[in-house]
Structure 1
Amino acid sequence: MKDELHQPLGRPTGAKRPDTPAPKRGLWTGVAIFGALALGGGVFALVSHDPLLATLGGRPYAVAKIEPYQPPPPQPAPPAPPAQQGAPATAEAAIQPGGRDHVVTVGEIEQQSGVKVLRNGASGPGPIIIQVQPEDSGVRLAPAPDRRISEKGRYGVLPRIGAEGARPMDIYARPYVPSPRLKPGAPRIALVVGGVGLNPQTTEAAINELPEAVTLAYAPYGPGLESSVARARARGHEVLLQAPMEPFDYPQNNPGPHTLLVERSGDLDDLLWLMSRFPGYAGVMNFLGGRFTADENALTPVLAEIGKRGLFFLDDGASPQSLAAKTADQLSLPEARVDVILDQTSAPQSIDAALAQLEERAVQNGSAIGFANAQAQTISRLARFAREAEKRGLALTPVSAMASRGGRTAAASGASK
């Protein structure tokens, strides 16, 4: 039976199977071409006598010449610019934009810009403190001790009135120079910071962070008092001596050695010791002394000695029983009293409130004196207030300019002699 189901799949009916496969012409053509190319490359290699080319079978290649490195000859160094007078030899240098060959030191840049950079250790990585130096008013205080107003005492150099009437309170005081940016008659504020000299860190902060017109009151016990006072005065700060006086709860509350005591009234030996601690102060203020300043018999000879030596007295304002103002008036002694104690508590809000009270009193009365102790947080608050005083219409004033006698300033009373 022959039908489509019995025929081989895909093969036509009656087709004969070939005995031998048909030749593949394309394959033989490729083989012939490749052989021709290989034969040509070999002939070229033989003709060129290049063994590498023969090895590579005619493929393109490049040859690089390798030579040992020769360092360039050293260049002569350019001539060094002339050293500037006063510049430290080890200071870093910078090129000033104004001139290609002008070299200035980092110290000179800091001095010109008013910015001081303090590096912790070497020049490597580490914390860097940048201090913006307060504006220099140009006021310079007289060197101390001044021989015209000094004498040698039992414990050291003592202040005195000079042969021509010159007084330490006039020579050593910082002169009051009104700012031309303020209106005439602007309210005046004096800031006094006490306890300076006892702690090296807070002492340096008071000297360097507070504006020049802030008065510093030194305790008589700290180390290196003479050099510290000299630095403070070189920065422009007027200086006072704090004299420890007997409080009501003495000896439980003892201000320190050579405290002026009521029971030793009339004996000035302790006062002379205190006044010999360092030179250059323009006045004396009490440290504590609630009981002492309330006793007229004890207070009178002390204030008389202070006046005899050409100084003024500042009452710290802590004791309402103080007779300093009354006694000073009887002795014709220049005297002033603190109006506001600024650090009754150390809280920043309390200090700011006291400064606002001081400003209000200065506006009402024309002048006011504020006092605070040398503590780090207090110094920072006072420094900010003092730097902004002029913007608020206030004249920051040395406290000596507010010491009065019979309604006249200390400077005026000195000129009338």
Structure 2
Amino acid sequence: ARPAEVYAQKSGAAQRPDAPRIALIVGGLGISASTTAEALSKLPGPVTLAFAPYGNDLESNVSRARARGHEVLMQIPMEPFDYPDNDPGPQTLLSSLSGEQNIDRLQWLMSRFQGYVGVMNFMGARFSASEQSIAPVLREIAKRGLIYVDDGASPRSLASQIAGANRTAFAKADIVVDAVPTTAEIDKALVRLETIARERGSAVAYASALPVTVERVARWSKTLAGRGVALVPVTAVALKPKSS
């Protein structure tokens, strides 16, 4: 069985199967102990948590997240357009490197902790716009039985097309919830997210682990079931159900 299935959490089976579904990913965890602790204590299990491959106590924080019912993603640092002024971190995947060199970096990053269902980009507007760069990475991810999530921040990302061609299990964020990190704008984005889910049947969103975001998402999540919307782990929208 692939890791994406082994480490998947059960999605809210009690919900009506036809309920609109929302997968929400909160990222940037693992570096700050206080930010990570706050997210773990306040966010409900169906919220997917994305950890950076740097930081102390990664294994124990990821284990704690999974014990609380969260699916986990690893955020892989990828080259932005303004690199190296804007540097995502050690072992960043770069468009100037060969496919083989980037796979070496990817393997180093992916060995930082275990228990994740897939990986998602951290930055990477330049890297994900280059087919030559992103395609070998997506092939490697598919080969390992993982899902790939695009945070939706770069309109030039080719990940969606390449994942489709490679049959990589894939999800892309429809919106970034805290692109403007104020209470009012986060609340507006969450309303928009529900609208997308109702129109399409499902929606995916990304948010950072800022205190204001965690607080608004935690509050909002308690009201969803009353509106007939299911909050689900990311594999519930990224993994295609096996045909019986």
1:365 to 195, 200, 210: 200
**Cα distance in 1 between the residues matched to 2:175 and 2:12:** 24
Q: CA deviation at 1:189?
A: 0.7
Paired with 1:265 and 1:176, the residues of 2 have a C-alpha distance of: 39
Structure-2 separation of matches of 1:184 and 1:215: 20
Partner of 2:167: 332
CA–CA distance in structure 2, aligned partners of residues 220 and 313 of structure 1: 16
* Residues 1:235 and 2:68 aligned together: yes
Verify the 8 A CA contact 1:290 1:322 in the aligned structure 2.
Answer: yes
The answer to whether the 8 Å contact 1:198/1:222 transfers is yes
Q: 2:89, 2:60 → 1: CA distance?
A: 22
- Once the two structures are superposed, the pairs formed by residues 259-338 of structure 1 within 5 Å of their partners are 259-266=92-99, 267=101, 268-338=103-173
Distance 1:222 1:235 in 2: 20
More relative contact order, 1 or 2 (CA 8 Å, 6+ apart): 2
Tell whether the 8 Å contact from 1:208 to 1:235 is kept in structure 2 after alignment.
no
After superposition, give the CA deviation of every residue in 1:174-213 in whole Å (9 maximum; x if it has no partner).
122322xx44411101110000111111101111111111
Percent of residue pairs bearing the same amino acid type: 53
Q: Which runs of 5+ in 2 are unaligned?
A: none
* Greater C-alpha radius of gyration: 1
Contact 1:198 1:223 in 2 (8 A): yes
> 2: CA distance between counterparts of 1:176 and 1:290?
31
Show the counterpart of 2:35. Answer: 202
Aligned residues of 2:48 and 2:73 also touching (Cα < 8 A): yes
8 Å CA contact retained: 2:77, 2:121: yes
Q: In the TM superposition, what is the alpha-carbon distance from 1:277 to its structure 2 partner? A: 0.5
- Is 1:168 matched with 2:3? yes
> How many angstroms apart in 1 are the aligned matches of 2:116 and 2:199?
30
Q: When the two structures are aligned, how many residues end up with a matched partner?
A: 242
SS at match of 2:204: strand
Q: Which runs of 5+ in 1 are unaligned?
A: 1-165
CA contact (8 A) 1:316 1:371 kept: yes
What is the TM-score when the length of structure 2 is the normalising length? 0.96
- Choose the corresponding residue for 1:390, options 225, 229, 234: 225
Residue 191 (str. 1) matches residue 24 (str. 2): yes
The secondary structure found in structure 2 opposite 1:372 is: strand
> How far apart, in 1, do the equivalents of 2:237 and 2:167 lie?
15
Residue 256 of structure 1 and its aligned partner are, at CA, apart by 0.4
Matches of 2:98 and 2:137, distance apart in 1:
8
Q: Deviations over 1:133-164 (max 9, x none)?
A: xxxxxxxxxxxxxxxxxxxxxxxxxxxxxxxx
Residue in 1 that maps onto 2:181: 346
Structure 1 segments of 4+ aligned residues over 3 angstroms from their partners: none
